[in-house]
Structure 1
Amino acid sequence: MTQVTAQLVKKLRDMTGVGMMDAKKALVAVEGDIDKAIDHLRENGMAKAAKKADRVAAEGLASVYVEGNNAAIVEINSETDFVSKNEQFQTLVAEVTRQVVEANPANMEEALEIKTANGTIGSEIMEANTVIGEKISFRRFERVTKDDNAAFGAYLHMGGRIAVLVLLDGTTDEEVARDVAMHIAAINPKYVSRDQVSQEEIAHETKVLTEQALNEGKPANIVEKMIQGRLNKYLAEISLVDQSFVKNPDQTVGEFVASKGATVKSFIRFEVGEGIEKREDNFVDEVMSQVNK
């Protein structure tokens, strides 16, 4: 059985917005499994917000570079936000993104070995570590190729805090593609369409929604219709083409793109630091540790 620690309770509170006692009770009920505790809270209508653990902040920049029928999206991290405003760091990020497009590496190992004017990408990042005085890491990249009858949409939000690269088929209008990229940056869909949602995810969500409906005391004969309605709403919220378009909420993204004779083939969205646990210092604990010495 997992021990329900104060740190675990805090993590669940941060992720769901519930009170301390509710978080503790949920963890005790599921023997300390935080994923099951989130479901437990949702099933009982107590989770206020899905503050996802993969939104923990880390610093750095993401970037997009497009050259003809090839494009790349890159994230490079630093220890502090101050470094992301450093001209040398910004130049490094831009150059790495361009070099990934031109060299077409298959993986990170190959990317770090890409030849540059001063050595390799790997050696230039090591040099940046020394000169800037912080740990600089090339975290991830993706490279995309398109046909002539297609368009890339590139968008950077907050100077590179969020980067989006979208690919539309059936149009060469980059402005249309960029509008879709802006929407993705703002709304953060998980999939292009609901067809991409796995059966496992649908089954999991259906279970949660079923428990919600039953705990609300709804009659059994209407529970099934409620679940289906709520499941459709959930799928629309996470699927790009079903979402209300931010520039015109009267139409979906799918309808907007179709009106231009196009379809969404793919998108990639990098938000700097997502999924990286950032060190948190507890000042009170630090002071007490010194007092108790």
Structure 2
Amino acid sequence: MANFTIADIKALREQLGTGMVDTKKALEEADGDVDKATEILRLKGAKGNAKRADRSTSEGLVAAHEQDGAVTLIELACETDFVAKNERFGALAEKVLAAAASSRADSAEAALAADASGQTVEQLISDEAAIIGEKVELRRVRTLTGDAFEVYLHKTSKDLPPQVGVVLAYTGDDAETARSLAQHISFANPS
């Protein structure tokens, strides 16, 4: 009999976001060793990711970060709107955005290779996708530099996160016109 308690199961579930039964089975297989159980759950999740590789990602969100004369815009995609509005998915997007912005990544490939607290963004997304249980992909990343920007993120539904994003670099001091132009660009359904 493995040496662990219900509190151990609960703590590991909260840490990883895994199901009760899967967490208990992993702790049993690891004889109560939390580190081994964590690795077992990650490997199980990685196998699930491979099974989901061919699925389409038609939902998701866009997010932007502006600092030090640069704006980074990301598009993080998932399979369902349920996940798109999930708190965990939003937190993942924030981590991906922070890593992409700090590395000034200008493509999804560059962002996937960026450091995210000791691991690559690609590994972070893979780990979180295993927990979330859906295919998650970083579709697009763009970083612009300049003096003045207008960032407009548009929600296609009030209960979903923004799904259309526009970053407009401009010169001069007419922020109101820049904002209006960014909104018009978003309504034109850019790709």
In structure 1, list runs of 5 or more residues that go unmatched.
1-56, 189-268, 271-293
Letter in 2 for 1:115: D
1:143, distance to aligned residue in structure 2 (A): 0.8
CA gap 1:164/1:120 in 2 versus in 1, 3 angstroms = same
Larger Rg: 1
Letter in 2 for 1:156: L
1:180, distance to aligned residue in structure 2 (A): 1.9
Question: What are the within-5 Å matches in structure 2 for residues 45-60 of structure 1?
Answer: 58-60=58-60
Normalized against structure 2, the TM-score is what?
0.61
CA contact (8 A) 2:168 2:178 kept: yes
Normalized against structure 1, the TM-score is what?
0.41
1:94, distance to aligned residue in structure 2 (A): 2.5
Whether 1:186 and 2:174 are equivalent positions in the alignment is: no
CA gap 1:174/1:118 in 2 versus in 1, 3 angstroms = farther
Corresponding residue number in structure 1 for 2:98 = 98
CA gap 1:177/1:87 in 2 versus in 1, 3 angstroms = same
Corresponding residue number in structure 1 for 2:164 = 162
1:106, distance to aligned residue in structure 2 (A): 4.8
Give deviations 1:35-83, integer Å, cap 9, x for gaps.
xxxxxxxxxxxxxxxxxxxxxx811111121113100111111011111
CA contact (8 A) 1:153 1:175 kept: no
* Cα distance in structure 2, aligned partners of 1:88 and 1:115: 19
How many residues align? The count is 131
CA gap 1:175/1:68 in 2 versus in 1, 3 angstroms = farther
- The SS at the match of 1:82 is helix
Whether 1:112 and 2:112 are equivalent positions in the alignment is: yes
- The SS at the match of 2:135 is coil
Give deviations 1:216-257, integer Å, cap 9, x for gaps.
xxxxxxxxxxxxxxxxxxxxxxxxxxxxxxxxxxxxxxxxxx
Corresponding residue number in structure 1 for 2:134 = 134
CA RMSD of aligned residues (A): 2.2
Corresponding residue number in structure 1 for 2:122 = 122
* Cα distance in structure 2, aligned partners of 1:106 and 1:176: 26
1:175, distance to aligned residue in structure 2 (A): 4.2
Corresponding residue number in structure 1 for 2:25 = none
CA gap 1:176/1:65 in 2 versus in 1, 3 angstroms = farther
- The SS at the match of 1:91 is helix
- The SS at the match of 1:71 is strand
* Cα distance in structure 2, aligned partners of 1:104 and 1:180: 25
* Cα distance in structure 1, aligned partners of 2:138 and 2:69: 24
Question: What are the within-5 Å matches in structure 2 for residues 7-22 of structure 1?
Answer: none
CA contact (8 A) 1:153 1:180 kept: no
* Cα distance in structure 2, aligned partners of 1:135 and 1:60: 11
- The SS at the match of 1:141 is strand
- The SS at the match of 1:170 is coil
1:95, distance to aligned residue in structure 2 (A): 2.6
Letter in 2 for 1:62: V
Identity fraction in percent: 33
Letter in 1 for 2:126: M
Whether 1:152 and 2:146 are equivalent positions in the alignment is: no
1:93, distance to aligned residue in structure 2 (A): 1.4
Give deviations 1:108-155, integer Å, cap 9, x for gaps.
3331121112512111100111110001011111110003xxx21111
CA contact (8 A) 2:154 2:163 kept: yes
* Cα distance in structure 1, aligned partners of 2:109 and 2:137: 13
Corresponding residue number in structure 1 for 2:71 = 71
